[in-house]
Structure 1
Amino acid sequence: MAQLDTLDIIVLVLLCIGTIAYFTKGTYWAVANDPYGNSLAHQNGGLKSTKSRNILEKMEETGKNAVIFYGSQTGTAEDYASRLAKEGASRFGLKTMVADLEDYDYDNLDSFPSDKVVFFVLATYGEGEPTDNAVDFYEFINGEDVSFAGGTSMEEKPLSNLKYVGFGLGNNTYEHYNLMIRNVAKALVKMGATQIGEAGEGDDGAGTMEEDFLAWKEPMWQALAESMGLEEREAVYEPAFEITQRDDMDPEEDLVYLGEPNKNHLEGNQRGPYNANNPYIAPIAESKEIFTTQSRNCLHMEIDVSGSNISYTTGDHIAVWPTNPGKEVDRFIKAIGLESKRHSVISVKGKDPTAKVPFPSPSTYDAVIRYHMEICAPISRQFVSQLAPFAPNEDIKAEMTKLGADKDYFHQNVADWKLNIAQLLEQQSKGEPWTKIPFSLFIEGLHKIQPRYYSISSSSLVQKNKISITAVVESVEKPGAPHIVKGVTTNYLLALKQKQHGEPNPDPHGLNYALNGPRNKYDGIHVPVHVRHSNFKLPSDPSKPIIMVGPGSGVAPFRGFVQERAAQAAAGENVGKTMLFFGCRRREEDFLYASEWEEYKKDLGDNFDLRVAFSREGPNKVYVQHKMKEAAAEINKLLDQKAYFYVCGDAANMAREVNTILGQIIAEQRGLPESKGEEIVKAMRSSNQYQEDVWS
């Protein structure tokens, strides 16, 4: 064999590198930074950088003495973590950083120095489950045989040096209220950690989350200051982000993000996996109105995911990525005096190496506000306080300060009217622009706009490449209120439906959505989506009976359940009793999928039992709870046969009442005390025989 000379080797190496680069599409080089301070790994829709997963190393490198870990599903816990970090730094001189739980390892927590502190801000998702980004941490900390890198045994209390602060986000309509923070706190204390202050618990079910957080953090800060020898100082706003106007760049340049979520989308190169950082721009195959009244809208949509490798199973959720309505974008831009600069290119960079810019950069003010900021959400009282120093004049400053300080006054004048940020600013200044507010403060103080999750209303067995959505379009008008509250995402979907049906100016309620997406890339009728898997599932054995309770759009997943069972029956499988309690106002107005139920009954026969409550057709209001009582004997009979019980819809009222009534039915039918019926329902929940897919 001939010897290879040096030139041959160099050529072969270059060919090898070129081949790898071609087939990996640059994946191995995606961790480099772009010229504007953003990690391309962050922009690349899920690609992870090779940064260290050692939190102690990270804190040492950046000179931090406090880390705030968050477990967040919708962004609220992440927002609270950021607010705590900012406040700890400005009021007490803490050197803080915010950290996503899934970005770090936990086996070195036993080496945590006693002069540093860890915060855990943890949301509980569904029935006592960790959020997606907290699963690994939760399983580690609650493991039967936790093993730390330092080799300390459980008997030696491995976390005896660890000081921690805890706050949980939960919903009291679920049985396992705030289970995450409770179980994590229990595990940490068992291993010797020291809890500073009381672990706080916010309640989304009671609508008091924000006030619970504000009430908890003041005594917490005092306890932490005492524990760590901190001195409070006058808090002065210091921007977390540096914003540079890029006069050298045109907004149409290829490097400028105009609402694209990551680099792949910017380059027009969609690729999976599709997730909460990387949506799939899916065609809407079909859309239609399924209410027959002119005063309300309910949409049925078929989202085409063929060719995307997106898969779902019956009972999963689809996430729709909304865009803010143009009407509110214009209001916001005008309120803060950015009309002349709305399309100016800006680069945004964290002033601290641990500060995470929540959107790609460079971008424009308009794109950031339209696609990345939750500008239509209710405002927090704390944020109002932060804005007060930047008021146009002293009178407005005094009023904003009062709103931020007085809980009752704030609720009477802001929260009860459901004002968004621009509406409040507009109202307070009577149209005078708030030009003194640093744009960084909005990046820090407003949530990143979050995908909205909808129960999938189709069966993956029947239509694996088309995902159905059933969504009531939100429009809440309060008498005397200056504004009607419009659902951001449902009205966006309504506008897409109007466009698909050829309406010349699709513009529900004058909201004016940018339906073609950034740079008009959403050709045709498209919507950004991804799928989130759920534990809300049919029994694996189709012969098991099921009982479903789903009034209004809560019937969505049950359309998928019944569709699947009808297909199984048509294929000759043994399908058990399928009982559905549905509620609506009137038979001729909002009886969702009325004709479809008749079709499914042809396949299921007597095994399909539909009970409908029409709440406004008679002299008295009739709800699904009443229909359940009428069918008490049949429900009990099916439960004796180990029927699975499902509830979908409003958590605060309907779901809670259904839970109570089921316990009463069991007790009455079996001649037991009511408390025993409650115990049986609780046991059904624990064994997954009772499942909920509910919302506040």
Structure 2
Amino acid sequence: MGKEYQINQEQLAQLNQLIQNLSADQLVWVNGYISGIINGKDDALLLPKISVPKSAESITILYGTHTGHSKEIGLDLYDKVLALGFNAKLQGVDDYKKNDLKKEKYVFLIISTHGEGDAPIQAEDFYEYVHGTRAPKLPDTKYAVLALGDKTYKKYCQTGIDFDQQFTKLGAQAIIPVQTSDVAYEEVAEKWIETILNELKTLAPEIASSPQSKSTSAPKKKFNRSNPYYAEVLEKVRITTSDSEKEIYHVEISLEDSGIEYQAGDSIGILPNNPIDLVDLLINKFEDDPERIVTVGEKELSLFRALQNKLEITVLNQEVLTKYNALVQNKDLEALLNNEDKLEEYLYGADAYDLLEDYPGEITSDQFLSVLRVLYARLYSISSGPSANPEEVHITIASVRYQQKKRDRKGACSSYVSDEINAGDHIPIYIDKNEAFRLPDDENKPLIMVGAGTGVAPYRSFLQEREQNSAKGKNWLFFGNQRFKKDFLYQVEWQKFLKKGTLQKLDVAFSRDQEDKEYVQHRLKENGNEVYQWLENGAHFYICGDKKYMAKDVQDTLLEIIQNEGGITPDKAEEYLKNLKREKRLLLDVY
């Protein structure tokens, strides 16, 4: 079936909602009804219509997303609102008609925060509108906001908080207070939706109690953070040389019989184990019994297992330090918490044992457990094309190892995979969808792909898919790492893509192979004219890698190229770049 005939995700959710409670006889009836419509038979239109009572109240569900999580939650709420018998519409905020806002009676917004307090690209215009002088007064509007974010950032869930405050300023009435959620958002989202539905039931109890509204909601995703799939590792190969400063592995994982599907651009979430040596340090610090039973959440387990499998101990954030200091009341720690620059410097590379050593105080091991975050999954860009690798998924992992304060440190997940996992072992995984990093629907569109280190992983997936689908669009890869002879990830594969014509251009930068360091942005600048011509011809520009340095430098260079090659002012160049983002032709997967 051609792509032009496929239904979208929103339509599929509605279809699933319709058919999931129908009997076999009813499904046969529906099949005949649809066939009649397709064949233009007038009698199909005379078949009895199903009467579903509807509330006069109209519900608007809006989402603003970077990776697609907000949209998933929106679809879930949309299904359940329809099941109650309400009229509802679901839209991304970029497609929403802003002038309709003043007419809305009920608005439910699911919105993520990107980086340090920024609205996702999809929501930038709507954010400016709501906070601008043209925003309407909303005295007749009731609303609720679910804010998604990451507590490792200082401005946690800031976009959602901003929307909530602004809606209130415009006169709208919050049905429930703004809800914020960390990276493990599923449980908070479920509770938020449940609260919304309970509020809606009070609006039209006769609708909510009708037989048609009793249908169950769409099934939850089979595998996620709270319910991972234990997948077999088929192969693990180091793809940097043994004398390289970087220890990077290519890992192939079986999805056979799992039913798991993914797209190029998605990521895999892996639930790791914390390093045992760090677990032992913490237990010894408290002089506690590793087999003592403790409670984490609603589960009882040994202290050792709690620290190894359930709680975050390799990284810290401001919230953990704040909770810890509420118990120990350390004046030096209080001073640190009041100094943003020093706090950010301290948090980079510090772990739970550092906190106990650097800022001591009276605290029991159980109290310490209570301030720690839940151990969260680590996300890795998928490096395999699903069409080229049926029932398999590949990832590229750099092992994180460093020394700080005369103690060896390890990344929780990277060391778990590199040190403990081998072919034949099973690891807990799930697919993390990333709608913000997709191949263009038009396979004739050219691609410019920029990645450093393991940031090149998704481009292997992209090129495998384009080759498998015989896509005619040109492809240009910019790749950077430390040394040509030691760190040229997937070198043989890129050369094969070049030979076959799947990859038209390859430009590389190896920073340590000469006295003056060279990076991918230098290769971009050298090819500025051609890069600009590709953009003018509709190219999609991808950046994957470190957000703070590499991605920022690449975007700055791209802006310079646009200004110089386009012969336009800095303001016009900024607008050009902004339009690329709006058109989903500048796509970032950064961390």
Measured against the shorter chain, the TM-score band is: 0.5 to 0.7
Aligned partner of 1:361 among 299, 302, 308: 299
CA distance in 2, matches of 1:141, 1:590: 41
Alpha-carbon deviation of 1:368?
2.4
Matches for 1:585-596 after TM superposition, within 5 Å: 585-596=482-493
Contact 2:401 2:409 in 1 (8 A): yes
Q: Is the 8 A contact 2:112 2:157 kept in 1?
A: no
**SS of structure 2 residue aligned to 1:126:** coil
CA RMSD for the aligned pairs?
4.6
Amino acid at match of 1:647: I
For 1:335-350, list aligned pairs within 5 A.
Answer: 335-337=285-287, 339-340=288-289, 342-346=290-294
Q: Distance in 1 between matches of 2:302 and 2:57?
A: 41
| Alignment match, 2:411 | 487
Residue of structure 2 in register with 1:422 after alignment: 353
Q: State the partner residue of 2:235.
A: 286
Task: From 515, 534, 543, give the equivalent of 1:647.
Answer: 543
**Residues paired across the two proteins, number:** 462
Name the residue aligned to 1:411: 343
Of 609, 630, 639, the match for 2:526: 630
Letter in 1 for 2:343: H
Correspondences of 1:515-664 after superposition (within 5 Å)? 524-535=424-435, 536-568=437-469, 573=470, 575-604=472-501, 608-664=504-560
Counterpart contact for 1:322–1:488, Cα < 8 Å: yes
SS of alignment partner, residue 428 of structure 2: strand
Structure 1 letter corresponding to 2:401:
S
CA contact (8 A) 2:117 2:155 kept: no
Deviation of 1:620 after TM superposition, in Å, equals 1.9
Counterpart Cα distance in 2 of 1:619 and 1:601: 29
Q: Which residue of 2 aligns with 1:30?
A: none
| Cα 1:602/1:567, change in 2 over 3 Å | farther
Opposite residue 253 of structure 2, the aligned amino acid is I
1:171 to 99, 115, 118: 115
Opposite residue 539 of structure 1, the aligned amino acid is P
Distance 1:305 1:557 in 2: 18
Query: TM-score, normalization: structure 1?
Result: 0.57
Q: Give, in whole Å, the separation in 2 of the partners of 1:558 and 1:302.
A: 16
- Give the superposition deviation at 1:624: 1.0
Aligned to 1:130: 70
1:279 and 1:200 map into 2 onto residues whose CA distance is 24
Conserved in 2, the CA contact under 8 Å of 1:474 and 1:487?
yes
**Pick aligned residue for 1:318 from 262, 268, 272:** 268
Distance 1:672 1:483, change over 3 A: same
SS state at 1:575 partner: coil
CA shift digits 1:568-590 (9 cap, x unpaired): 4xxxx352211101111111011
Work out the CA distance in 1 between the residues paired with 2:293 and 2:378.
Answer: 28
- Deviation readout 1:273-305 (Å, 9 max, x if unpaired): 112221111111001111113432011100111
Residues 658-692 of structure 1, C-alpha deviations (whole Å, 9 max, x = no match): 22322332333333334323322221211112211
- 1:560 partner amino acid: S
Q: Which amino acid in structure 1 is aligned with residue 508 of structure 2?
A: V
Kept after mapping to 2: 8 A contact 1:335/1:433? no
- Structure number with greater Rg is 1
1:335 is matched by which residue type in structure 2?
K
**1:307 equivalenced with 2:223 (yes/no):** no
Q: Aligned AA for 2:444?
A: S
Is this contact kept in 1: 2:71–2:92, CA < 8 A? no
1:274 aligns with 223
Are residues 1:675 and 2:578 paired? no
User: Is the contact made by 1:455 and 1:557 (CA closer than 8 Å) also made in structure 2?
Assistant: yes
Q: Is the partner of 1:581 in helix, strand or coil?
A: strand
Trace 1:120-519 onto structure 2 (pairs within 5 A): 126=66, 130=70, 132-133=72-73, 139=90, 158=105, 169-172=113-116, 176=120, 179=123, 182=127, 190-192=137-139, 208-209=154-155, 273-292=222-241, 293-337=243-287, 339-340=288-289, 342-346=290-294, 357=297, 361-380=299-318, 383-388=320-325, 390-391=327-328, 397-399=329-331, 402-403=334-335, 406-407=338-339, 411=343, 415=346, 418-429=349-360, 434-435=363-364, 438-439=366-367, 442-443=369-370, 445-477=371-403, 481-497=405-421, 499-500=422-423
Q: CA deviation at 1:211?
A: 13
Change (3 A) 1:448 1:135: farther
Give distance in 2, aligned partners of 1:287 and 1:453.
Answer: 17
Residues in 2 aligned to 1:336 and 1:194: alpha-carbon distance in whole angstroms: 53
| In 2, Cα distance between equivalents of 1:141 and 1:592 | 37
Contact 2:244 2:486 in 1 (8 A): no
Alpha carbons of structure 1 residues 540 and 690: separation in structure 2 relative to 1, 3 Å: same
1:422 shift after superposition: 2.9
Cα distance, 1:301–1:385 mapped onto 2, change above 3 Å: closer
Equivalent in the alignment of 2:7: none
Q: CA deviation at 1:438?
A: 4.4
Change (3 A) 1:462 1:202: closer
Residue 313 of structure 1 aligns to which amino acid in structure 2?
A: Q
| In structure 2, C-alpha distance between the alignment counterparts of 1:137 and 1:538, rounded to whole Å | 28
Cα deviations by residue, 1:29-49 (Å, 9 ceiling, x for unpaired):
xxxxxxxxxxxxxxxxxxxxx
Q: Deviations over 1:379-402 (max 9, x none)?
A: 42x5445444655xxxxx544664
Verify: 1:692 aligned to 2:591, yes or no.
no
Q: Distance in 1 between matches of 2:333 and 2:157?
A: 17
Q: Secondary structure at the match of 1:130?
A: helix
CA 1:183/1:158 → structure 2, altered by over 3 Å: closer, same or farther? farther
Q: Is the 8 A contact 2:444 2:473 kept in 1?
A: yes
Cα distance change, pair 560–128 in 1 and its aligned pair in 2 (3 A): closer
Separation (CA, whole Å) in 2 of partners of 1:673 and 1:186: 27
The answer to whether the Cα contact below 8 Å between 1:647 and 1:691 also exists between their aligned partners in 2 is yes
Paired with 1:408 and 1:134, the residues of 2 have a C-alpha distance of: 35
> Which 5+ residue runs of structure 1 have no aligned equivalent?
1-106, 111-121, 147-152, 224-270, 349-356, 392-396, 501-523
Q: Which amino acid aligns with 1:455?
A: S
Against the structure 1 CA distance between its residues 346 and 458, is the aligned structure 2 distance closer, same or farther, given a 3 Å change threshold?
A: same
> How many angstroms apart in 1 are the aligned matches of 2:150 and 2:295?
37
Distance 1:185-1:596 versus aligned 2 partners, 3 A rule: same
Q: Among the aligned pairs, what percent are the same residue?
A: 26
Show the counterpart of 2:34.
none
SS of residue matched to 1:534: coil
Q: Deviations over 1:611-649 (max 9, x none)?
A: 111212223221111111222232223223212211111
Q: In 1, distance between residues paired with 2:92 and 2:66?
A: 20
Report SS of the residue matched to 1:375: coil
The alpha-carbon deviation at position 406 of structure 1 amounts to: 3.9
Alpha-carbon deviation of 1:550? 0.9
Native 8 Å contact 1:374 1:450 kept in 2: yes
On the 8 A contact 1:305/1:466 being kept in 2, the answer is: yes
CA distance in 2, matches of 1:646, 1:402: 42
Tell me the distance in 2 between the aligned counterparts of 1:123 and 1:427. Answer: 42
Would you say the 8 A contact 1:539–1:644 is kept in 2?
yes
- Name the CA distance, whole Å, in 2 between partners of 1:272 and 1:175: 26
Cα distance change of structure 1 residues 422 and 167 upon mapping to structure 2, 3 Å threshold? farther
Gaps of 5+ in 2: 1-55, 79-89, 170-219
Letter of the 2:426 counterpart: H
- Structure 1 residues 613 and 343, CA, compared in 2 at 3 Å: closer, same or farther? same
